[in-house]
A = this chain, B = another copy of it.
């Protein structure tokens, strides 16, 4: 196995172990049980469970960037909504259990600076992507020039975070959020003289 394959295999095992056990009770042995590696081999690659989970958050971040960086629409508002959809639509194999484990990890952020740093990176990346799209839409006249791209991007990230939290806490679908964000883009982001061709 190459180093890359080994790391990929361990990340897959970490994913499965988080789904099965959640974050709070997770042990290196749980991850080893989901992996082809022994617990000793895991410790050879990662000093601690904490190190392994930091590497796992980096791995998720790379996947998130890959999944969201190539969205594109014909016009800026379509690109914006495509990005929103890419964030709301979890990959097919993402389970409720996994969303729950991620929320558990989010709740550790105040005690774990290395978790906070990595979780913040997701939000910053997403805010930057949204800001770029919003600025492009202002530049080409599609979007309202009075709209503040930074604040609007930050607001959209808050909405998406809320939808992810509610999915775990209340088992609630994201359809209402998707519909309301489409409406928000139409009434708040688009320039007044633009109409959306639905």
Contact = CB atoms under 8 A, between A and B. Distances in A.
Interface string A96-127: 11001001101101110000100110010000
Given A100-B107, A107-B100, A162-B165, A154 B176 contact: yes
A47 to B, nearest CB: 22
Interface residues on A, range: 35 or more
Interface in A113-166: 116, 119-120, 123, 151-152, 154-155, 157-166
7 contacts: A100-B109, A106-B165, A109-B170, A116-B171, A119-B170, A151-B180, A154-B180
Contact of A180 (B152, B170, B177, B180): B152
Interface string A159-196: 11111111011110000110110011001100000000
B22 A169 contact: no
Give the top 3 A-B pairs by smallest Cβ distance, nearest first: A162-B162, A155-B180, A158-B162
